[in-house]
């Protein structure tokens, strides 16, 4: 089995480093999501992993195979893409337009006369796996976007690569299909036990699909952990803002409690004291509409805006001190209207970062 | 079925191009510089005094005045004819619009010397400045009509509608919204016309106008005065280079100005009043008769009359075969040289790539007379054993028409996502095999089309062929030339007809792409 180990990676184009001293560990068989805004260096990382660019420093190891960088006994290893045993699923599939589906899938399989039967069998097998067995002789342009992605995945998996790299493979699909295909791909990768790295800018996709989420920023990994960790225990304010919606309130912390416009809030960070920024998730806020709201109550405020989404509504509540915060209320009952007095209370613990 | 959101895919690659590709591209760039550099060397050998003598001769000034006036007259006439015609074709409900578009593009299939020959054959008194201006206008007006038509068609009718709703009348709305958008297309077309006129040899030579190309050819033939031919050639190159630079700047601005996204409607055609309609059809008919009708009729009449003095069919076929053979060699060389440059230009945007591409387009600014002259000098002085061999002729064709082959390779390569090649790499292919199994496989038709274009253009080339051909080698163009020189108009007709047929193919392709989209014009301009 093959994990991926990236140590001190520095890489870029024409002498300008895009990645600087980047570390990333993906355990064997795991699906990792590299999550970052555009310009964070995700694509450069993928290209370095695939072998399209040569790192200027650091190492990349697949299992016990050093594929790039300096290692014991080899001063400067660089395995070209064709010998790296990586599969890639590019954006929009990038199927070879001049080949039919089965020829696309067989592209990376041996072509010699003696192996022809094996190649045919393997092609059929992977197409079956991705549910495209009926389309073996279709041309890429005859397929829908989702089907093209399935074939692209089959093509990447056919030669049994050590690592599969998925470059935003679902972004070009419409919302419903995206969710379904994501779940299917996840299931397939799990059952095969293939190590996979998914590049994405969609935090929902990263959280729902991966075992491990690595948040990228400015050419480095800002935080790497389970989806739960990254969402609940963001390493810094920027990660908190990027992964999910964040409610930020100024406050003062001492002994695991922060005092802010919503009253006293329990925080995870015992060590933080003094002025802080308290970060909560909108779903941690509970709204109530008591009959006698007094402006002195902690969390008292006025609804300023209501946007109705069906399954829930997103309100903007102006607190007594003038801060506007987003609050999500579940659907089912009519949401409060703008102008109504409300009280916001907090459930669970928040995070506090020194202000 | 799902909807696929289309996104612009990155076609270019970041980072440095592979060294082998750069080296191959640099070879192409150097090869295309050879004629120009050697000309400069020859001229500087003559010494400052001789150069100045030639430059300040009254004859030189006369030549400049003649050439520049010819360019100005032809460009003005082409714009005056081209813009209204383009508007008729793009925006009005003209009967048989598709047919008119074809008819308006077809004069491109008439090499200037064929058109001149056809008119002279019918009206032997024709000669001089205005006759040349007349014929060059007829032949080159499509360079304005086609891109402007495309621009009028492609411009967003919503702009004009907004202008109407803001209180402009229909004409002012058009003049203040659509017309300014077409200006870059018109200017680009006008500069192509200027370049065509400046470099043209056939029409000015047959009509006895002392423009640059004819004077250079004449001084070269009078072999005692080769320095003055070389100096004049350099002046001509300077003028052509100015035009090419101007054309590049204009082309940079030809991109469409549409800000909004989403599907664009096409404008509803304007209904002309019956008298306006008759006038429009009459105008187009006159233009077509002058540009196509009379020359073609003249060719056919001459052909029929000429058949009294018998047509030597074997000689015609031999000339055609020679044209084909030499041009094939030139086209093959051009495609080979173009390959690295086209790939680099499509995939990378580093400074060295830009330099290589720009330098390789030198042939675009070199009138064929200049290339011919320089290669005569070069072969005589440096490599006399290839002087007047088919190799030099093929080489001249390759340098002259290299831009066409590069343009075809570049646009074909740019249309294929580099991700395909990268994916093939991860599936176990070496760089070369990944390229040949994906990108090359997909771009081959485009590259071959570029080669075909070079072939067809080289087959009708006249001045460089006259200067460089081995003694006794006759192409269709030179046969037509030598028969016209001795006023054997009847005997020349079959050659002229053969040349028109050959030139019709690239003209048809050009007309098709030029009227489509402004983007396609970029590619077509090099034709």
ipTM, two decimals: 0.80
Q: How confident is the model at residue B91 (pLDDT cuts 50, 70, 90)?
A: confident
Q: Work out the pLDDT band at A157, boundaries 50, 70, 90.
A: very high
Does B131 reside within a domain? yes
The span from the CA of A315 to the CA of A325, in Å, is 8
pLDDT value at residue B252: 61
Question: What pLDDT, on a 0 to 100 scale, did the predictor assign at position A77?
Answer: 84
Tell me which H or E stretch contains A52.
none
Residues of chain B contacting residue A84, judged by C-beta atoms under 8 Å apart: 426
Q: Across residues A116-140, what is the average pLDDT?
A: 92
Q: Is B272 helix (H, G, I), strand (E, B) or coil?
A: coil
SS (H, E, C) B110-128: CCHHHHHHHHHHHCCCCCC
The whole-angstrom distance between A43's CA and the closest CA on chain B is: 11
Q: Contact B1/A144 with Cβ under 8 angstroms?
A: yes
Q: Summarize the confidence of residues B301-318 as an average pLDDT.
A: 76
What's the DSSP call for residue B174? I
On whether the CB atoms of residues A255 and A266 are closer than 8 A, the answer is: no
**A-chain residues near B350 (CB < 8 A):** 14
Strand ranges of the sheet holding A247-254, from the earlier edge strand across to the other edge? A263-266, A257-260, A247-254, A274-280, A351-354
pLDDT of residue B22: 94
Q: Looking at the complex, does the CB of residue A166 fall below 8 Å from at least one CB of chain B?
A: no
For the ranges B10-19, B216-225, B328-337, the one whose mean pLDDT is highest:
B328-337
What per-residue confidence (pLDDT) applies to B514?
Answer: 59
State the pLDDT confidence band at B310, using cuts at 50, 70 and 90: low
Interface contact flag, A83 B419, Cβ < 8 Å: no
Taking an 8 Å cut-off on Cβ atoms, the answer to whether A91 and B9 are in contact is yes
CB contact under 8 A, A144 and B434: no
Q: What integer is the mean pLDDT of A231-254?
A: 89
The pLDDT assigned to B329 comes to: 95
pLDDT at A332: 77
Sign, Cα dihedral of B435, B437, B438, B439: positive
Q: In the predicted model, is pLDDT for residue B285 greater than 90?
A: yes
Question: Is A145 an 8 Å CB contact of chain B?
Answer: yes
Report CB contact under 8 Å: A174, B350.
no
In angstroms, the CA B514 to CA B498 distance is 25
Residue A125 CB contacts under 8 Å (≥ 6 apart), including other chains = none
Position B253 scores a pLDDT of 57
How far apart are the C-alpha atoms of B67 and B84, rounded to whole Å? 26
Residue A267: DSSP 8-state: B
Mean of the per-residue pLDDT values for chain A? 88
Contacts of A184 in chain B (CB under 8 A): none
Task: Kindly tell me if the per-residue pLDDT of A178 is higher than 90.
Answer: no
- Token pair of B220, please? 């070269």
Chain B contact probe: residue of A82, A123, A166, A171 with most B CBs at under 10 A = A82
* B103-121 tens-digit pLDDT: 888 888 888 999 999 999 8
| Residues facing residue A313 across a β-bridge | A308, A329
If pLDDT is split at 50, 70 and 90, which confidence band does A256 have?
Answer: confident
Among B287, B74, B64, smallest CA distance to B190 is for B74
pLDDT of B306 above 70: no
Contact B151, B231 (CB under 8 A): no
Among A17, A81, A111, the residue to mutate for chain B (most B Cβ within 10 A): A81
The domain tally of chain B equals 1
> Is the pLDDT score of B256 beyond 60?
no
Which residues are CB-contacts of A203 (< 8 A; sequence separation ≥ 6)? A35, A242, A243, A244
Q: Which of A13, A159, A177 sits opposite B428 (nearest CB)?
A: A159
Cβ <8 Å between B422 and A81:
yes
B230 lies in some domain = yes
| Cβ-based contacts under 8 A for chains A and B | 88
A-chain residues near B2 (CB < 8 A): 144-146, 173-174, 177
CATH number at residue B331: 1.10.3720.10
The whole-number pLDDT of residue A206 equals 92
Chain centre distance of CA B265? 32
Separation between Cα atoms, residue A314 and residue A308, nearest integer Å: 7
Nearest CB to A88: which of B1, B7, B423?
B423
Rounded Cα–Cα distance for residues B412 and B414 (Å) = 6
B435 within domain boundaries? yes
Does B423 contact A82 at a Cβ distance shorter than 8 Å? no
Query: Residue B262: what pLDDT?
Result: 47
Write down the pTM of the prediction: 0.80
Lowest mean pLDDT among A109-118, B66-75, B194-203, B391-400: A109-118
Work out the average pLDDT over B191-207. 92
Taking CB atoms and an 8 Å limit, are A51 and B442 in contact across chains? no
3-class SS at A217? Answer: strand
What pLDDT, on the 0 to 100 scale, is given for residue B518? 43
Helix axis angle for B142-154 and B179-199, nearest 10°, is 160
**Cα(B44)–Cα(B36) distance, integer angstroms:** 12
Q: Do the domain assignments include residue B23?
A: no
Chain A residue with CA closest to B349: the answer is A14
Buried b (16+ CB within 10 A) or exposed e, B272-296: beeeebeebbeebeebbebbbebbb
**Cα angle: A319, vertex A321, A322; to 5 degrees:** 65
Lowest mean pLDDT among A201-210, B25-34, B150-159, B314-323: B150-159
Q: Residue A268: which pLDDT band, with cuts at 50, 70 and 90?
A: confident
Asked if residue B101 belongs to a domain, the reply is yes
B405 falls within a domain: yes
The rounded distance, in Å, linking the Cα atoms of B98 and B488 is 38
Q: Nearest residue on chain B to A142, judged by CA atoms?
A: B1
pLDDT category at B380 given cuts 50, 70, 90 is: confident
Closest among B58, B192, B258, B216 to B514, alpha carbons compared: B192
Is residue A155 within 8 A of residue A96, CB to CB? The reply is: no
What is the distance, to the nearest Å, from the Cα of residue B298 to the centroid of all Cα atoms in its chain? Answer: 25
For testing the chain A interface, which of B1, B4, B351 should be mutated: the one with the most A CBs within 10 Å? B4
Residue A154 confidence (pLDDT): 94
**Which residues does B109 contact at the CB level (< 8 Å), separation at least 6?**
B500, B503, B504, B506, B507, B508
Query: In the predicted model, what is the mean pLDDT of chain B?
Result: 84
On whether residue B427 sits in a domain, the answer given is yes
Work out the end-to-end distance of chain A between its first and last CA atoms, rounded to an integer number of angstroms. Answer: 45
Band (pLDDT 50/70/90 cuts) for residue B311 is low
Confidence grade of residue A73 (pLDDT, cut at 50, 70, 90): low
Both tokens assigned to B282: 């009459």
> Which region among A33-37, A135-139, B68-72, B255-259 has the lowest average model confidence (pLDDT)?
B255-259
Phi and psi at residue A346, in whole multiples of 5°? -110, 135
**Domain limits for position B227:** 29-253+273-526
The tens digit of pLDDT for each residue in B434-484 reads 999 999 999 988 898 888 888 988 988 999 999 999 988 899 999 999 888
Residue B8 placed within a domain? no
Full strand arrangement of the beta sheet holding A86-89: A86-89, A163-167, A195-200, A31-35, A212-217, A220-225
Which residue of B2, B15, B417 is in closest CB contact with A53?
B15
Q: A17 to chain B, minimum CA–CA distance in Å?
A: 11
Min distance A313 CA to chain B CA atoms (Å) = 28
Span A166-181, average pLDDT: 86
Q: Quote the pLDDT of residue B259.
A: 45
Cβ within 8 Å, pair B426-A98: no
Dist. CA B460–CA B106, nearest whole Å: 16
Q: Which of residues 79-138 of A touch B (CB under 8 A)?
A: 80-84, 86-88, 90-92, 94, 96-98, 107-108
**Partners of residue A163 in chain B, C-beta under 8 Å:** none
> What would the mean pLDDT of B152-171 be, rounded to a whole number?
75
* B177: DSSP letter: I
Residue A78 DSSP code: E
| Percentage of residues in chain A having pLDDT higher than 90 | 39
Q: Which residues pair with A74 in a beta bridge?
A: A71
Identify the pLDDT of residue B2: 35
User: Which of B6, B16, B426 comes nearest A86 by C-beta?
Assistant: B426
The residue-averaged pLDDT of A112-124 equals 91
Would you call B7 and A88 a contact, using CB atoms and an 8 Å cutoff? no
Q: How confident is the model at residue B220 (pLDDT cuts 50, 70, 90)?
A: confident
Given this model, what pLDDT does residue A166 score?
A: 94
Q: Which chain B residues are within 8 Å of A180, Cβ to Cβ?
A: none
Give the residue from B370, B366, B382 showing the smallest Cα distance to B467. Answer: B370
Using the predicted structure, report yes or no on whether residue B527 has a pLDDT greater than 80.
no
Question: What is the rounded CA–CA span in Å between residue B233 and residue B217?
Answer: 10
Burial of B517 (0-12, 13-18, 19+ CB in 10 A): middle
The H or E element spanning position A88 is strand A86-89
- Highest averaged pLDDT of the listed ranges A63-77, A180-194, B166-180: A180-194
Give the other-Cβ count within 10 Å of A36's Cβ: 26
HSE-up (13 A, CA, CB side) for residue B395: 22
**Would you state the pLDDT for residue B258?**
44
Do residues A43 and A165 touch, judged by C-beta distance below 8 A? no
* Alpha carbon distances (Å) from B410 to B400, B405, B525: 17, 8, 14
Residue B266 has pLDDT above 70, yes or no: no
Yes or no, beta carbons of A81 and B16 under 8 Å apart: no
Please give the average per-residue pLDDT across A182-196, as a whole number.
91
Chain B residues lying within 8 Å of A53, measured CB to CB = 15
Contacts with B6 from chain A: Cβ below 8 Å: 172
Answer whether A225's CB lies under 8 Å from A239's CB: no
Question: Which has the higher per-residue pLDDT, B266 or A252?
Answer: A252
| Burial degree of A321 (CB within 10 A; 0-12, 13-18, 19+) | exposed
B54 class by beta-carbon count within 10 Å (0-12 exposed, 13-18 middle, 19+ buried): buried
Calpha distance B87→A186 (Å, rounded): 57
Using a CB-CB cut-off of 8 Å, the residues of chain B touching A88 are 422-423, 426
Is the pLDDT reported for residue A134 higher than 80?
yes
Closest CA to A59 of A47, A72, A42, A71: A71
Measured from the Cβ of residue A45, the count of other Cβ atoms closer than 10 Å reads 28
d(CA B347, CA B332) in angstroms, rounded, equals 23
């Amino acid at each position: 089995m093959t994990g991926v180990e990236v140590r001190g990676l520095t890489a870029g184009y024409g002498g300008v480093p895009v990645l600087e001293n980047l570390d990333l560990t993906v355990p064997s068989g795991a699906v990792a999501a590299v999550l970052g805004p555009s310009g964070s260096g995700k694509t450069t990382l993928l290209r370095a992993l695939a072998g399209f660019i040569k790192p200027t420093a650091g190492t990349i190891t697949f299992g016990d195979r050093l594929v790039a960088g300096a290692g014991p006994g080899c001063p400067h290893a660089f395995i070209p893409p064709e010998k790296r045993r990586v599969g890639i699923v590019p954006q929009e599939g990038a199927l070879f337009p001049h080949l039919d589906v089965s020829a696309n899938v067989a592209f990376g399989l041996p072509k010699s006369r003696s192996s022809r039967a094996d190649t045919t069998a393997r092609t059929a097998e992977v197409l079956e796996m991705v549910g495209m067995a009926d389309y073996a002789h279709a041309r890429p342009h005859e397929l829908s976007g989702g089907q093209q992605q399935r074939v692209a995945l089959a093509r990447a998996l056919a030669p049994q690569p050590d690592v599969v790299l998925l470059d935003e493979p679902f972004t070009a699909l419409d919302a419903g299909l995206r969710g379904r295909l994501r779940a299917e791909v996840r299931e397939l990768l799990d059952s095969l036990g293939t190590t996979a790295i998914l590049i994405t800018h969609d935090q929902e996709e990263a959280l729902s699909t991966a075992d491990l989420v690595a948040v990228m920023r400015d050419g480095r990994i800002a935080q790497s952990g389970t989806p739960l960790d990254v969402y609940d225990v963001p390493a810094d304010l920027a990660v908190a803002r990027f992964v999910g919606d964040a409610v930020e309130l100024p406050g003062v912390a001492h002994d695991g409690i922060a005092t802010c416009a919503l009253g006293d809030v329990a925080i995870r960070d015992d060590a933080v004291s003094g002025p802080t920024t308290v970060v909560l998730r909108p779903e941690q806020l509970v709204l109530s509409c008591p009959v006698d709201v007094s402006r002195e109550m902690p969390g008292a405020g006025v609804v300023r805006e209501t946007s109705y989404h069906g399954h829930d509504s997103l309100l903007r509540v102006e607190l007594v001190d003038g801060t506007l915060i987003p609050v999500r209320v579940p659907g089912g009952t009519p949401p409060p209207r703008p102008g109504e007095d409300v009280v916001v209370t907090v459930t669970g613990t928040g995070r506090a970062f020194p202000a | 079925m799902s909807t696929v959101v289309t996104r612009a895919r990155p076609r270019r690659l970041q980072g440095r191009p592979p060294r082998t590709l750069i080296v191959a591209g640099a070879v192409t760039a150097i090869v295309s510089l050879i004629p120009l550099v050697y000309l400069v060397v020859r001229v500087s050998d003559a010494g400052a005094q001789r150069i100045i003598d030639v430059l300040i001769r009254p004859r030189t000034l006369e030549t400049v005045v003649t050439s520049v006036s010819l360019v100005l007259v032809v460009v003005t006439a082409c714009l005056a004819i081209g813009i209204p015609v383009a508007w008729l074709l793009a925006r009005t409900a003209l009967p048989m619009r598709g047919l008119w578009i074809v008819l308006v593009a077809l004069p491109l299939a008439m090499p200037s010397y064929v058109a001149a020959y056809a008119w002279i054959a019918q009206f032997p008194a024709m000669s001089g400045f205005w006759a040349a201006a007349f014929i060059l206008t007829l032949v080159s007006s499509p360079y304005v009509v086609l891109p402007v038509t495309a621009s009028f068609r492609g411009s967003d009718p919503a702009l004009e509608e907004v202008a109407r709703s803001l209180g402009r009348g229909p004409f002012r709305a058009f003049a203040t919204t659509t017309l300014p958008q077409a200006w870059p297309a018109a200017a680009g077309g006008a500069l192509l016309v200027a370049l065509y006129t400046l470099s043209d040899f056939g029409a000015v030579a047959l009509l006895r106008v002392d423009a640059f190309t004819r004077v250079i050819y004449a001084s070269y033939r009078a072999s005692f005065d080769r320095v003055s031919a070389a100096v004049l050639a350099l002046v001509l190159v300077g003028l052509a280079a100015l035009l090419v630079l101007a054309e590049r700047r204009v082309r940079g601005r030809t991109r469409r100005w549409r800000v909004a996204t989403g599907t664009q409607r096409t404008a509803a055609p304007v209904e002309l009043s019956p008298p306006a309609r008759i006038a429009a059809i009459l105008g187009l008919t006159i233009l077509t008769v002058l540009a196509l009708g009379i020359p073609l009729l003249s060719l056919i009449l001459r052909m029929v009359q000429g058949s009294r003095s018998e047509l030597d069919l074997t000689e015609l076929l031999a000339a055609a075969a020679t044209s084909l053979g030499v041009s094939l060699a030139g086209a093959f060389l051009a495609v080979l040289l173009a390959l690295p440059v086209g790939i680099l230009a499509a995939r990378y945007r580093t400074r060295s790539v830009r330099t290589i591409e720009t330098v390789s387009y030198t042939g675009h600014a070199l009138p064929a007379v200049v290339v011919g002259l320089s290669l005569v000098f070069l072969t005589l002085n440096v490599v006399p054993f290839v002087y007047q061999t088919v190799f030099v002729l093929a080489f001249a064709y390759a340098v002259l028409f290299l831009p066409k082959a590069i343009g075809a390779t570049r646009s074909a390569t740019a249309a294929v996502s580099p991700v395909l090649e990268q994916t093939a790499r991860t599936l176990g292919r070496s760089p070369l095999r990944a390229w040949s199994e994906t990108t090359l496989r997909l771009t081959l038709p485009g590259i071959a089309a570029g080669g075909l274009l070079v072939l067809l253009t080289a087959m009708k080339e006249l001045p460089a062929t006259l200067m460089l051909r081995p003694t006794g080698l006759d192409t269709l163009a030179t046969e037509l030339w030598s028969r016209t020189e001795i006023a054997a108009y009847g005997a020349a007709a079959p050659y002229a007809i053969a040349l028109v047929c050959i030139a019709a193919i690239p003209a048809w392709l050009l007309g098709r792409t030029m009227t489509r989209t402004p983007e396609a014009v970029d590619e077509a301009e090099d034709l």
